[in-house]
Chains A and B, each alone.
Chain A
């Protein structure tokens, strides 16, 4: 029986078709529907999750290839007591979402950026966020929210990417 490590927990995914993309395992088998389907070809970034701290497109990763990988999804960012991360807080306070459908992917990309670079330049933000489409075009607020989150973080990373998806 296959298991995955998701948001710091070992989860049983049963006898599943190993070609199933991680995206659909999260959504259909584990009920973690925060990760979204937008294109299925790694063009839009709505399905972005972290694998060992790095942003990946979950629509492209067959679940059969996932052994000993630490997966973090949007549901795994906030602390157990519900405290939001600085990125999530900034997103709420700056009223970034319009329809909101892409924002889980945007937040995962932004979180990975800030985990490695607590003082990103505009060029850093462009590079880290260019894989995520926002059809409502909330880009200017996303950019500002990343800067606001960086200020809130005050030089502290979210987590050590080498560790197991623990959120600071």
Chain B
């Protein structure tokens, strides 16, 4: 198999850029020998706070017992009983990476999967490089390093076996966690050579022989999650499950009008309440309206620290807080909608984009060709104005984190998607110099009860660190309520697109114009995840594109949500593409394939740009397996098609939808075909696709956050309904796995296409063109 190792997404958000140096597998001798002692990690996965001297006696005992474990690298240990510990470096938030990365190592290590114990690695950039869950990057960024980690371990075991057995290395091979001597028919478990293997020189990465695809014994099959057993038996896994001796529980209450600062509160009453230990105001730090995972930024508020979660939450209800609103947000979504619609036929400011040339990044116009001239001469011109709202992540685990502050140092237990930024930001907040941060701030990663991008932000980590500093010596668990979460998100930003496009006399797309309306907090650039990428299909494959932008001042906090930007663009771009297909007189499939043209990279200079051939293949395949055809299959029932490319993944989806006279929509089935390159855990990829489709349908129909005068209007699931079991359609998921491409991530590209697949199906069934999300506001109801 030819392997493309540099598979990063072209739309990599800025905040990832300092994290994305592809990790090199470097295993310095010192690091290797010290590994166990420093990290204090045992085969049972218990993480001990040895760095700060806070480990429990039980943990220390386990640590001592595990000293017989042989450490080959930060990724591989051999237990005395011959079982293999494989360390999973990145946070697990439901994307399956705790299973996926160790599986890659295990295959190259030539282990039987049942001989492997997966251990969540601690946070340590010196051993693991960047550790984060975002951008569908965990698999592509680590694919080669994980293979090398496995092959390194295998080479060291073989070298040790050759020496210990006094058999030439060339006569030895491996299979299923065993060293095999084919000539004599003898075999030995890896454990027999563990001690010696741990002393072997680490082979140079260039000397390693990686498996070819036909030699994979594990990868390519279905593997179930390594934590499944613990999940179904209710074991402590998640952030809020952290329990420490002497622990206190905290609530934190911020201003409903975002950015207001606490001046005073009914302190004596709150402190008199049962179970309350302390209550105090915390100041704002940094500029928390802006998404900044590593800055220590947090809003002002009132902390209540209590002997139990309930005491903290019950007292929270009795808070009376006086706020300084001088820096609070005053924006209202209703006003923004009004202004955008009033300007829909006007031009915006020319959109600029960053071009990364040989002389570094430069700012250049995002438009190309001469869209205006081509539109004037077009045989057909089509226009459409599309709207989509702010959306909350609504991950089921509300923000929660535990911190212990002692002697100027802090230890943190966090369900964080960028835990390393949680560490660095905590150091900033506490005034710890960056060079001392690695020693004085220790963060242990827990399983994340849903991320979807919300826990890329570390605001809740910084809040509990600030609270714990006031409660020195006592561990404090901060528990946000659902209301705290929904009113205090870094939301998916809302926006508008005013499209005009031209078709020539044979129905080919020749020009594309988009006036994009978005929000800005600094009047210079859009808010996070609120910018328009000029490479979105079909702009990347046509010659005449005019892009302009209008920014409204509005600093309601925004941040990445699953498939940032794409989670809204797919709705409007691919809905409008269907409008164009109808106007062209071609079938939707033919219109998409004709627009894609010959198989090539959309941008020949960018190997990460969309490959039109891979795009065409998923479209053709989903049309084939779904029996897609334009028009209603029976009155009120039709299929709709959509395609989207993002995060290096290609996905086409078809929805089969019925609509009755009451605008009740039943989605019978959704077919999905993805191309994420080679798929090493089929169950994981299928799970991401299945979840992505239903996530998209849920948002399409019901998800909308509004704000008036800076106050979020929705507080809990009764005002922000999520899709439930009866509404979930049948799903059929399959993948194309072109030989020459190594894996990319499926978490994000799986979600966007379904938005337009459903609205295009509703058009095909009823003739109603939907240009606004969510659909409940148009009278539609998902049943």
- A-side interface residues toward B, CB under 8 Å? 17, 19-21, 24, 27-29, 31-41, 43-44, 46, 73-75, 77-78, 84, 88, 91-104, 107, 125-127, 129-130, 132-143
Q: Which residues of A contact B397 (CB under 8 A)?
A: 36, 38, 99, 101
Q: In chain B between 682 and 731, which residues have their CB closer than 8 angstroms to a CB of chain A? A: 683, 687-688, 690-695, 698, 716-718, 722-726, 728, 730-731
Residues of chain B with a CB closer than 8 A to A100's CB: 94, 225, 227-228, 231, 237-238, 447, 449
What chain A residues lie within 8 Å of B313 (beta carbons)?
24, 40
A135 touches B726 (CB 8 A): no
A28 in contact with B308 given A34-B234, A38-B397, A136-B450 (CB within 8 Å): yes
Asked whether B479 is an interface residue with its Cβ less than 8 Å from the other chain, the reply is yes
Closest A residue to B310 by beta carbon equals A24
Q: Do B234 and A32 touch across chains, with their CB atoms under 8 A apart?
A: yes
Give Cα A93 to B313, complex, Å. 38
Q: Is B356 an interface position by the 8 A CB rule?
A: no
Whether B309 contacts A75 by the Cβ 8 Å rule is: no
* Dominant secondary structure at the A interface: loop
Pairwise interchain contact A98-B396, C-beta atoms closer than 8 A: no
> Are B396 and A137 neighbours in the complex by a CB distance under 8 Å?
no
Q: Mark B226-244, 1 if CB is under 8 A from A, else 0.
A: 0111011111111011010
- Shortest distance from the beta carbon of A19 to any chain B beta carbon, whole Å: 7
Q: Which chain B residues have a beta carbon within 8 Å of chain A's beta carbons?
A: 93-96, 222-225, 227-229, 231-238, 240-241, 243, 249, 274-275, 308-311, 313-314, 394-398, 447-452, 479, 481-482, 683, 687-688, 690-695, 698, 716-718, 722-726, 728, 730-731
Main secondary structure of the interface of B (DSSP, over half): loop
By beta carbon, the residue of chain B nearest A142 is B725
B residues less than 8 Å from A130 (CB atoms): 724-726
With a CB–CB cut-off of 8 A, which chain A residues contact B309?
24, 27-28, 37
Pick the most buried of B228, B238, B243, B452: most chain A CB atoms within 10 A of its CB: B228
Q: Which residues of A contact B236 (CB under 8 A)?
A: 33-34
Chain A hits for B694, CB < 8 A: 137, 139-140
Q: Which residues from A are CB-within-8-Å of B275?
A: 17
Among candidates A37, A43, A137, residue contacting B398 with C-beta atoms closer than 8 Å: A37
- Contact at B231–A39, with CB atoms within 8 Å? no
- Complex alpha-carbon distance, A137 and B450, angstroms: 11
**A-B pairs with the 3 shortest C-beta distances?**
A34-B234, A99-B94, A101-B449
Per a CB cutoff under 8 Å, which of A74, A97, A129 touches B225? Answer: A97
Q: Are A136's CB and B691's CB within 8 A? A: yes
The interface centre, meaning the residue of B95, B232, B236 with most chain A CB atoms within 10 A of its CB, is B232
Provide the bound-state CA to CA distance between A21 and B481, in Å.
Answer: 14
Q: Which residue of B228, B308, B447, B726 contacts A95 across the interface (Cβ within 8 Å)?
A: B228
Establish whether residues B232 and A97, one from each chain, have CB atoms under 8 Å apart when the complex forms. yes
Q: How far is the CA of A100 from the CA of B687 in the complex (A)?
A: 12
Residues from chain B with Cβ under 8 Å of A21 in the complex = 310
- By beta carbon, the residue of chain A nearest B696 is A137
Contacts of B394 in A (CB 8 A): 135
For B233, give its contact among A19, A75, A102, A127 (CB under 8 Å). A75
